[in-house]
Amino acid sequence: VRAVPGLDGDPGAQPQRTVLAWNRTVVATVLCALLVALTAERHEMSGVAAVAGVTALGILLVALRDLRRWQPVAAEPWRSILHAGTAVMVLAALGLTVAVHGLLS
């Protein structure tokens, strides 16, 4: 992250910490999506596995595009947060489907 007007000499390295938090979140989301895909595949739920796989790829591409536009001042992070949050909700729904399938079978 380059030096930022308005945050010069910020000893807390806030922009860097925020970008690193984004990196952790994107990595965690993609790994969780892959975990859901592999688990669904193991339970022979190919549809769920396919949606999880597409979610993994989709959130990776969307988040990388969002992060290219990320800026620390006069920021507009809502869309990026909404994208990441939507991906997590999709994964929660897929995980719930797998769990309910296990409950009923």
Partner 1 sequence: MSPAEEGVPDGAVPADRADRHAARGGPSRRPRSVYGVGSEPDPRYSLANERTALAWLRTALALVAGGVALTTVASFSEERVLLSGIAALACLAGGGVAVRALVGWRRTERAMRLALPLPAPSGLQLLVGGVALFAVALAGYVVVQALP
Minimum distance, C-beta of residue 38 to partner 1, in the bound complex (Å): 9
Using DSSP, state whether 8 is helix, strand or coil: coil
By the rule CB under 8 A, 43 interacts with partner 1: yes
Size of the chain, expressed as the number of residues it contains: 105
Asked if 65 is part of the footprint of partner 1 (rule: CB under 8 A), the reply reads no
At 96, give phi and psi (nearest 5°). Answer: -60, -40
Q: Which long-range contacts (CB under 8 A, 24 or more apart) does 50-53 make?
A: 51/90, 51/94, 52/91, 52/94
Query: Residue 73 belongs to what H/E stretch?
Result: none
Closest CB to partner 1 among 42 and 65? Answer: 42
Interacting residue with partner 1 among 36, 49, 51, 59 (CB under 8 A): 36
Asked whether the beta carbons of 1 and 22 are under 8 A apart, the reply is no
Please give the Cα distance from 84 to 46 (Å, whole number): 24
Q: Which of 22, 55, 56, 63 binds partner 1 (CB under 8 A)?
A: 22
How many residues bind partner 1 (CB under 8 A)? The answer is 47
Interface residue list for partner 1 (CB under 8 A): 5-7, 10, 12, 14-15, 17-18, 21-22, 24-25, 28-29, 31-32, 35-36, 39, 42-43, 71-79, 81-82, 84-85, 88-89, 91-93, 95-96, 98-100, 102-103
